[in-house]
Amino acid sequence: MIVSMTGFGAASADAGGEGTNCSVEVRTVNNRFFKTVIKLPDKLTAMEPEIDKILREHLARGSVVLAVAIKDQVDASSVKINRQLLETYVQAAKDACAALAKMPGGVLNPRVDAAALLALPGVIETGDDTAAYLSTHREVVLKLCRAAIANVTEMRKKEGAALAQDLAKHLAVIREDLGHVSKLAPSVAKQYHEKLRARVLQMVSDSKLSLSDQDLLKEVALFTDRADISEEINRLGGHLDQFEAVCQKESEAGRKLDFIAQEMLREANTIASKANDSEISKRCVNIKSAIDRIKEQVQNVE
């Protein structure tokens, strides 16, 4: 069964210490390829490759954003300021301010925001060092990542089921109109023969010329050959069968369904251009409209 690329999943739990909580959120949207964005606390950035691998094991296509948030209960005595790093930031800020003051129309008295400096990465250090922090939180983060991915996968399956129903509705429209086209196709040559004969007889009568039935039949035969759409009808019907089979049996079907939909549109355009009949043209408009809706929907199939 097909799976959607749109979904959301979340999971949270205590992270091992009193007052410490960890939460993971996963959001996915459609994309032609597989793209991940992983947002981690500074002390857990080393886990990014491991989390990326887990994502790729469970999700095949789409844009994926996974965010990990940890709320730690921090003892005031454990908070430290990295003075050396802070001094580096301050000096860089002063240099930037000096450069701004010298620029034409620059700021005359630029100021350095202390709060902004303290918020820069690595200035304020809390709790354990990176290695100890990673060791304490690693297992719970991985567990929650898997749980959140399982939740988003379940939602993608439900969205996929809804997509399958909508696609089936459009396929039914195409089948109905294609059935009418198939019934109308044999009568096109006969109608052309009758109209051509009446027109020729009128012209012959007015000009007192003669035209044999053999010449008339040759012209009708040429028209019948040019307007024959039986092969296109059969191929389009085959594409419909293949599309339904892929929807029912394959999970990572998005690219294949997109290709089949393009082939369906190609056959519908050929039928519309070859069949010299107003009713068939109307049916082809309905068919192409339904195929366009299908092409839109399959862009969200994994």
> What pLDDT does residue 39 have?
95
First to last CA, the chain: 11
What is the pLDDT, as a whole number, of residue 134?
82
| Residue with token string 């949207």 | 29
Collapsed DSSP state (helix, strand, coil) of residue 11: strand
Give per-residue pLDDT as tens, 120-163: 877 776 655 678 778 888 899 999 999 999 999 999 999 999 99
Query: How confident is the model at residue 256, as a pLDDT?
Result: 94
**DSSP label of 301:** B
Place of tokens 């469970």: 58
Predicted confidence at residue 211, as pLDDT, reads 54
**pLDDT, tens digit, for every residue of 193-213?**
556 555 555 655 555 545 555
Residue 301, pLDDT > 80, answer yes
Residue 90: HSE in the Cβ half-sphere, 13 Å Cα cutoff? 10
Three-state DSSP class for residue 228: coil
Please state the φ and ψ torsions of residue 125, each to the nearest 5 degrees.
-110, 135
Instruction: Tell whether the model's pLDDT for residue 281 goes beyond 60.
Output: yes
pLDDT of amino acid 136: 81
Rounded CA separation 217/223 (Å): 10
Question: What DSSP letter does each residue of 104-164 carry, written as one string?
Answer: TT--SS----HHHHHTSTTSEE-SS-HHHHHHHHHHHHHHHHHHHHHHHHHHHHHHHHHHH
Element (H, E) at 80: strand 80-81
Phi, psi of 22 (to 5 degrees): -120, 135
**How many percent of the chain have pLDDT more than 90?**
49
Residue 199 has what pLDDT? 59
Q: Are strands 124-125 and 80-81 parallel, antiparallel or unpaired?
A: antiparallel
Which pLDDT does position 192 carry in this prediction?
A: 55
Q: In this predicted structure, what is the pLDDT of residue 292? A: 96
Tell me the range of 71-80, 93-102, 120-129 where mean pLDDT is highest: 93-102
